[in-house]
Structure 1
Amino acid sequence: MRPPPLWLLWLLLCGLGATAPPLDSFSQLAAPQHLNLHLYNDEQILSWAPSPPTNDTRPVVYQVEYKFIKGSWNKVKDVNCTDITETKCDFTRGGGLNSFTGLRQVSLRVRAKQGSLTSEWVTLSKFEHYCNVTVGPPRNISVTPGKGSLIIQFSPPFDVTTDASFKYHVHYWEKTGTQQVSGPFTKNSIVLNDLKPFGVYCLQIETQLIVNDGNTCPPRSSFSKVSCHETTGNAYTRLQVTLIPVGIFLSLLGLTGACFFLFLKYQSQVKYLFQAPPNIPEQIKEYLKDPDQPILEVLDKDSSPKDDAWDSVSIISSLEKEQDRVLQTL
């Protein structure tokens, strides 16, 4: 067998020492985007936007980790938030809330994974549950009408630790009255007294989450929906409430009828009482001002020309002519 040519050996040696081709520049996945933490009462749900799609057909999964302010990153143990395909992690489903309650500062981070490719971690700013939670209204509100009172019972929005407590104010008003506020209350049973029997009152409960002294979290509050209720009373009170307006109406009706009957019976006397008083003639007034002048001159001077003057006088017939006419007729 003939040995290979020298030029072929030279090419093989150069090929073995050649540089390997460069790796694919897209060696990492794009990171998840728009992390959002939903905190409402005892709900804690972390969600995010998925990574942009690639040409790889393998599924993309996500991993969630947490840490406290003085600790290392850990996987979530109470719920399954490792290698999940959905783009959220609900910490309230399996008791994970117990780790994140109170005033403990918590940080969360998420990354994507596809086969051997991974993305960078995306970290959410730290949060404190009592300082960032949205407080809802009380739950299971029931109102029982009483005799001039309303008995209100309810449950707190969620359970709290010794780091905080709830306080309640009741805003109530009669439908035609002004709003009043009663409280604060710390118990879940409230009685509104001194209300009108069989009165309709509307109310609204304000809930405040108060963090204990020494912390900088502001109070967080919410209002329940408005509901209206009618108070009760005994049978005598109900009779009073019904008869008083009826009695007033009947009294006014009877008084009106009596006045009308008296007017018809004494109509002439009533007209006489309400007619205008007689006036003193102007001549008499002039005479009273100056009694020394003769009364007849005053009357002649001030007599109205409309009463005593005529433009012309016509004699229609005389007595003698009338007698002659009668005799001729006979």
Structure 2
Amino acid sequence: MVRSSVKDSLSQLPAPQNPKIRLYNAEQLLSWEPVPPGNGTGPVVYHVQFKYTTSQWSDVNNNPEGVNCVKITTTECNFTKTNISKGFPMHFNVSLRVQAELEGRVSAWVTVPWFQHFRNVTVGPPENIWVTPGEGSLIIKLSPPFDIYDSTVAFQYYVHYWEKEKAGIQKVAGPFMTNSIVLSDLKPLTVYCLQVKAQLLWTMLNISRPGHLSNISCYETMADASTKLQQVILIAIGTFLLLSAMAGACLFLVLKYRGLVKYWFQSPPSIPVQIEEVCVHRSK
């Protein structure tokens, strides 16, 4: 290429420093530090190229689809796959390099070490974690950290959980290969805290990439059938004991103050029969 042939004679521009590729979930982002323009009047522009293992260097000019990183003024090139066609294939071996240019002067190429997305990716926690308390259980539904379009790659999940009152005693359940997980045999009416982690498995090359744990969240399990029966029995016994105590208290008060009670409940005074007859006779 002409650009390569004149590089030595015109390379008075410093090369971009600290180029690095960020591979987080589906993100593919190449970045570097800006090159100072020196005495130049125009902005420094950058030129990114890529190649696969068996191919030649090519400009990133709508290849991969939707990405243009030729004569750009920003210090990053985003290859993130937003659909099945955009971005580098995640199982391909990819190399990248970047060059600065200002007013006809160019810098040396700076190459980033090759990468394979599935080999080098940093896997984040699962998405959309939804927990429903059950009878002595927790039902967990989640989404993978990112979408994959390769039959040789899958996610498996692990759940770290513990009783909230016993934070030092942690258990790990898994691996689970589905997006619906049930933690069973838990204590009823107990608060459990949990974190979920995804692990990427690339079976073609026997590579696994452990992921980050999700944020801690806590939930109280529901009562199971035996616990509900125990609650009913305890309520019945408690009600019986309360009524018995009230009846006993009433009996005690009656016995202690029976004279006063007898006075309260005796029949009202009546008029003597003789006086009543006189009153009746006079009224006639």
* TM-score (norm. length: structure 1): 0.61
Q: Of residues 123, 129, 132 in structure 1, which corresponds to 2:117?
A: 129
Offset, 1:28? 3.1
Give the counterpart of 2:73 among 85, 101, 124. Answer: 85
- Show the 5 A alignment for 1:1-330: 28-76=12-60, 77=62, 78-92=66-80, 98-160=86-148, 161-177=150-166, 178-213=169-204, 215=205, 217-233=207-223, 237-238=227-228, 240-241=230-231, 244=234
How far off its partner does 1:117 sit? 1.7
CA drift at 1:97: 7.7
Long gaps (5+) in structure 2: 1-8, 242-284
Contact 2:15 2:35 in 1 (8 A): yes
**Percent of pairs identical after alignment?**
50
Instruction: Using the TM superposition, give the Cα deviation of residue 217 of structure 1 relative to its aligned residue in structure 2, in angstroms.
Output: 3.4
Task: Tell me the distance in 1 between the aligned counterparts of 2:13 and 2:85.
Answer: 30
Do the aligned partners of residues 246 and 34 (structure 1) sit closer, same or farther apart at CA in structure 2, a change above 3 Å counting? farther
Structure 1, unaligned stretches of length 5 or more? 1-24, 252-330
Alpha-carbon distance between aligned partners in 2 of 1:82 and 1:96, rounded to the nearest angstrom: 23
Query: Which structure is higher in strand share?
Result: 2
- Would you say the 8 A contact 1:32–1:112 is kept in 2? yes
Task: Report the CA distance between 1:226 and its aligned residue.
Answer: 1.6
Distance 2:133 2:180 in 1: 13
Structure 2: distance between partners of 1:81 and 1:96 = 20
Q: How many pairs align?
A: 226
Q: Which amino acid aligns with 1:228?
A: C
2:151 aligned partner, one-letter code: T
Residue type at the aligned position of 1:198: L
Q: After superposition, give the CA deviation of every residue in 1:200-234 in whole Å (9 maximum; x if it has no partner).
A: 11111121111104x26343232112211011237
What letter is aligned with 2:180?
Answer: S
How far is 1:140 from its partner? 0.6
- Check the 8 A contact 1:79/1:94 in 2, yes or no: no
Root-mean-square deviation (Å): 3.0
> Structure 1 residue runs of 4+, over 6 Å off?
245-248
Distance 2:151 2:224 in 1: 44
Q: Does structure 2 conserve the Cα–Cα contact (< 8 Å) formed by 1:102 and 1:163?
A: no
| More relative contact order, 1 or 2 (CA 8 Å, 6+ apart) | 2
**Deviation string for 1:152-195 (max 9, x for gaps)?**
01100011222321111112222345332222111111112222
Q: Distance in 1 between matches of 2:219 and 2:82?
A: 40
Question: Which one-letter code corresponds to 1:152 in the other structure?
Answer: I
Larger Cα-atom Rg? 1
Report the Cα distance in structure 2 between the residues aligned to 1:61 and 1:246, rounded to whole angstroms. Answer: 82
CA 1:57–1:234: 2 relative to 1, 3 Å: same
Q: Match of 1:165, as an amino acid?
A: A
**Residue type at the aligned position of 1:195:** L
CA distance in 1, matches of 2:84, 2:230: 60
1:181 and 1:244 map into 2 onto residues whose CA distance is 35
Contact 2:127 2:145 in 1 (8 A): yes
Kept in 2, the 8 Å contact 1:141–1:155? The answer is yes
